[in-house]
Amino acid sequence: MSYPFKEIEKKWQDIWFEKKSFSAADEGGKPKYYALIEFPYPSAEGLHVGHPRSFTAMDIIARKRRMEGHNVLFPIGWDAFGLPAENFAIKHGVHPRESTGRNVANFKRQLKMLGFSFDWDREINTTDPAYYKWTQWIFQRLFKKGLAYKADIPINWCTSCKVGLANEEVINGTCERCGSPVVKKNKNQWMLRITEYADRLINDLDEVDYLDKIKTQQINWIGKSYGAEIDFSVSRDLNIRVFTTRPDTIFGATYLVLSPEHPMLADLGRLISNGPEVRNYCEQAKYKSDLERMDLSKEKTGVMLEGLGAVNPATQEKIPIWVSDYVLMGYGTGAIMAVPAHDQRDYEFAMKYKLPVREVISGGDISVEAYEGDGLLVNSGFLDGLNVEKAKEEIVAWLGTHNLGRSKINYKLRDWVFSRQRYWGEVIPMVQCDKCGWVPVPEEELPVLLPEVKSFISGEDGKSVLEGLTDWVNTKCPKCSGSAKRETDTMPQWAGSSWYFLRYIDPKNMSEFAAKEKLDYWLPVDWYNGGMEHTTLHLLYSRFWHKFLYDEGLVPCKEPYKKRTSHGMILGSDGEKMSKSRGNVVNPDDIANEFGADVFRVFLMFIGAFDLAVMWNTEGLIGISRFLNRVWNTVEKIDVNISLAEKDLRLMHRTIMIVSDRIEKMRFNTAVSEIMSYTNELLAMTAIPKKMIEILCVLLYPFAPHMTSEIWENAISKDTGLMDQRWPEYDSNLITEENVTIAVQVNGKLRGTLDVEKGMSQERLFELVIGDDKLSKYVDRGKVKKVIYVPDKLLNIVAGK
RNA sequence: GCCGGAGUGGCGGAAUUGGCAGACGCAAGGGACUUAAAAUCCCUCGAAGCCUAGCUUUGUACGGGUUCAAGUCCCGUCUCCGGCACCA
């Protein structure tokens, strides 16, 4: 008979909710512990099974920490601004506030149904004016410190969403959300100077405990590289400045290449004989989508600036200047010195346009491909005979003394495009005055509320909904009271999520984003788990904001998250990403209804290694369901009169050790299998000492809190609740068996096992082998060359033939 | 192309630092209980072979190597997944 999970789960959820069992106090004698999961976007589809995978994991940590005597903060909220709600509004005319509200209610129901130990008193919502007031406030502080600025730059423009995208939202030249091609478009945008923090975002990774691959991703995304800027003279008063990481190859620089967007092209136009051709090429580059421009397989294209040349400062040779879209304006200086012998991209370009290739590093075969490795310098004047590293130093010094160049560090990381031409986001709290320029809306007027609108459809020309609200847009300058216009761009979804973990600390504070004493108490986040897909952008952005707030003296620590882990995705049973169109979506409601929340939770932890992607397979649920029923049935065998035998103690302590360890290492699948084995052992007994059931309840409680709480109440104690129990410590004297099984090998081959007492000597063991009927036949005593003994584990007898 | 990660029975997956490969679970087969079924419980379960109470050989993507001993370490190859991608 299966246990009545419906009643039990409802009962305990009500108790927890009514008693506020998981509300965190902002002080107290206990050590604090801040466990964080990524707050979800409340989509119309409801909870994805990937959410409870992460939530259950951190819920296990949170519940275990409470039992270990910590004051635990485990909060939840809603990252509720964003495109889907707005797209829904465009389609159905429903205000995003309304649809978002509905979705939040549904998510809440689902999360409660799964029994997560969230502190519901601290629930936050990024679309709540009381929340976004502070998002706007932080933006203004960034502005006041010169870290937010407007720039007229080519942005990524999604042709379908009609919205500017951050570089990070462009996937292979297409829009991350809708997959449409992305083109360049000039737009005056708010930018955040994240590049100013690039070094600190790399260096401070030393202080935190993130998975190595997460650190690597952060470092690679920032993309720091060391090189030099070098000036190539074009005419008496014109220089082209290039950035290169290989200044050592300067003697092999046989031409220069400018990006089609390079500002200098306007000036150079007058000096060249093929101006129209060049202009035409640049125009075309502009209208190419990123998809086309980034297609690596395509042949490189370019146009030479005819009648013009630059002087290679090392060789004094006059070399041609080209324009090509393989050089990007957004990196370095937007101009390069091309060294075809030692850069594959330059090599391909030189081959196509029959440009000279000059070897300056020996070691490769430049008739086949560019050689990018190390070697001795040749054809390089005073650098000849040096290796690459030494030559770099020499040439940079030489360029410096002749005032032709200097060493320079560059980053792949660009400043953060912070503007969106959208309705459903935080209004950027700025006003533009003809006289005073950009002026922040006075702090006491924050938040700038998102105005009500009738239609959510943006203009054909990419004009946003807010731009159409003339009454709202026209306002007075806070400084001079002259006529001024409000900013109509809104913030990206990354804004609200860049600081939400701070608001949890003091969610209802009306006068500050969070009180200092509370921040001092709770920060940093002790453990933050989330999806691998957020380990570059969200993590980088929120670290950037946090560092800024630290510089402002508003938070007590440099890094927001002490420890960061990531869970793998849950794929459909077909091994594909779950999606409506594939029809492979699993609805948590169905699972909870049929099997119960506890089975669902334990199953999610059992399904596979936590950090790897797993396929959903419904069959496995039956195994977990049986397991929990078996646990439920253990109480029938409780015998309060029998005491613990030594072997029971050993089993218990071993299990405590392994389960504790596996939880901390997030190897939940093996923690569960260990509890299963323990349960199997218990059920094999004719009578079970009560203590052993107690331990079973405690160890399983973080995974299956409802049913273990019920068992505890029914069979262990009515007075003290399970959640108030102490997480057990193990006795290291009791974790090993007294008797051990030794694997006996002859010449590395397993020939049998021997059960002996612990700590037996090699000599005695060897005699036992010789005396053993089954084993002795493999060993010819006279021919034994060597015996290898791993105490209490293995004996390997090496013998000649 | 570059940077990560993975490849183990019919399936999901175990195997702290090299030390009994296949824990735990699913599926399957057999048995008990039952009028029957479901549920539950017990047994078997990588492959091949043989003189079949057992024994032998073989086996962790593929090919080499190191070692008394390799799923684990080293070299090379293939496949899959994730991230980045003309970043000079």
Check if the beta carbon of residue A743 is closer than 8 Å to that of residue A795: yes
Give ranges for CATH 3.90.740.10 in chain A: 224-411
**DSSP symbol at A208:** S
Query: What distance in Å separates the CA atoms of residue A525 and residue A690, rounded to the nearest whole number?
Result: 38
Q: What does residue A193 show for φ and ψ, rounded to 5 degrees?
A: -80, 65
CATH class of the structural domain A224-411:
alpha beta
**A300 contact to strand B (CB, 7 A limit):** yes
What token pair was written down for A267? 């000036």
Q: Which residues from the 101-120 window of protein chain A have CB within 7 angstroms of nucleic acid chain B?
A: none
What token pair was written down for A796? 């390997």
Domain A137-219+416-486 CATH assignment equals 3.90.1150.10? no
Nucleotide nearest to A619 (CA to C1'): B26
Other residues' Cβ atoms within 10 Å of the Cβ of residue A149: 15
In Å, what is the separation between the CA of A267 and the C1' of B31? Answer: 93
Query: What distance in Å separates the CA atoms of residue A525 and residue A32, rounded to the nearest whole number?
Result: 10
Chain mean position to CA A87: 26
Could you please state the CATH topology (level 3) that the domain comprising A739-799 is classified under.
Ubiquitin-like (UB roll) (3.10.20)
pLDDT score at A797? 86
Q: Which residues from the 137-176 window of protein chain A have CB within 7 angstroms of nucleic acid chain B?
A: 167-168, 171-172
Give ranges for CATH 3.40.50.620 in chain A: 8-125+494-571, 137-219+416-486
Q: At A720, is the secondary structure helix, strand, or coil?
A: coil
The CATH label, of 2.30.30.30, 3.40.50.620, 1.10.443.10, 3.60.140.10, for the domain at A8-125+494-571 is 3.40.50.620
* Closest residue by Cα to residue A716 from A738, A742, A698: A698
In Å, what is the separation between the CA of A565 and the C1' of B84? Answer: 20
Residues whose CB is less than 8 angstroms from the CB of residue A368 and which lie 6 or more positions away in sequence, other chains included? none
Nucleotide nearest to A228 (CA to C1'): B88
**A568 contact to strand B (CB, 7 A limit):** no
pLDDT score at A617? 87
Check if the beta carbon of residue A484 is closer than 8 Å to that of residue A476: yes
Q: For residues A102, A105, A107 and A109, what is the CA-based torsion angle, rounded to 10 degrees? A: -140
Chain mean position to CA A639: 50
Give ranges for CATH 3.10.20.590 in chain A: 739-799
**Pairing outcome for strands A638-639 and A688-689:** parallel
**A607 contact to strand B (CB, 7 A limit):** yes
Nucleotide nearest to A226 (CA to C1'): B88
Q: Which residues from the 506-565 window of protein chain A have CB within 7 angstroms of nucleic acid chain B?
A: 532-533, 536
Q: Which residues of chain A have pLDDT under 50?
A: none
What token pair was written down for A464? 């946003």
Q: Which residues from the 743-772 window of protein chain A have CB within 7 angstroms of nucleic acid chain B?
A: 743, 745, 747-751, 753
* Angle between helix A588-595 and A619-634 (nearest 10): 40
Which helix (H) or strand (E) segment is A242 a member of?
Answer: strand A238-244
- Is the backbone peptide bond immediately before A4 cis, with ω within 30 degrees of 0? no
In Å, what is the separation between the CA of A748 and the C1' of B74? Answer: 21
Amino acid whose CA is nearest the C1' of B24: A673
**DSSP symbol at A446:** -
* Closest residue by Cα to residue A592 from A113, A26, A1: A113
Query: What distance in Å separates the CA atoms of residue A512 and residue A137, rounded to the nearest whole number?
Result: 10
Nucleotide nearest to A735 (CA to C1'): B16
Q: Which residues from the 222-281 window of protein chain A have CB within 7 angstroms of nucleic acid chain B?
A: 223, 225, 227, 243-246, 259
Beta bridge partners of A450: none
Nucleotide nearest to A569 (CA to C1'): B82
Q: Which residues from the 609-628 window of protein chain A have CB within 7 angstroms of nucleic acid chain B?
A: 609, 612-615, 617, 619-620, 622-624, 626-627
Nucleotide nearest to A224 (CA to C1'): B87
* Closest residue by Cα to residue A171 from A86, A294, A48: A294
In Å, what is the separation between the CA of A2 and the C1' of B38? Answer: 13
**A6 contact to strand B (CB, 7 A limit):** no
Nucleotide nearest to A242 (CA to C1'): B88
In the numeric block, the tokens 């015996």 are attached to A787
The HSE-up count of residue A753 (CA atoms within 13 Å, CB side) is: 9
Amino acid whose CA is nearest the C1' of B5: A612
- Please give the span between the terminal C-alpha atoms of chain A, in angstroms, as a whole number: 61
**A327 contact to strand B (CB, 7 A limit):** yes
**A302 contact to strand B (CB, 7 A limit):** no
Q: Which residues from the 386-445 window of protein chain A have CB within 7 angstroms of nucleic acid chain B?
A: 410, 412
Chain mean position to CA A326: 30
**A219 contact to strand B (CB, 7 A limit):** no
What is the b/e burial string over A299-333, where b = at least 16 CB atoms within 10 angstroms of the residue's CB? ebebbbbeebbbbbbbbeeebbbbbbbbbebebbb
Amino acid found at A93: G
Between the alpha carbon of residue A477 and those of residues A151, A419, A437, A450, the distances in Å are 21, 21, 9, 19
Nucleotide nearest to A607 (CA to C1'): B12
Q: What does residue A284 show for φ and ψ, rounded to 5 degrees?
A: -65, -40
Q: For residues A722, A725, A730 and A736, what is the CA-based torsion angle, rounded to 10 degrees? A: -20
Nearest-Å Rg of the Cα atoms of chain A is 33
**A680 contact to strand B (CB, 7 A limit):** yes
What is the b/e burial string over A201-223, where b = at least 16 CB atoms within 10 angstroms of the residue's CB? bbeebeebebeeebbebbeebbe
In Å, what is the separation between the CA of A613 and the C1' of B80? Answer: 12
**Pairing outcome for strands A474-476 and A563-567:** unpaired
Query: What distance in Å separates the CA atoms of residue A383 and residue A107, rounded to the nearest whole number?
Result: 66
Q: What does residue A783 show for φ and ψ, rounded to 5 degrees?
A: -100, 5
pLDDT score at A461? 65
Query: What distance in Å separates the CA atoms of residue A211 and residue A529, rounded to the nearest whole number?
Result: 11
pLDDT in tens, A458-467: 666 667 889 8
Check if the beta carbon of residue A448 is closer than 8 Å to that of residue A136: yes
Nucleotides of B under 7 A from a protein CB: 3-6, 11-16, 19-21, 23-27, 39-42, 55-57, 68-70, 81-88
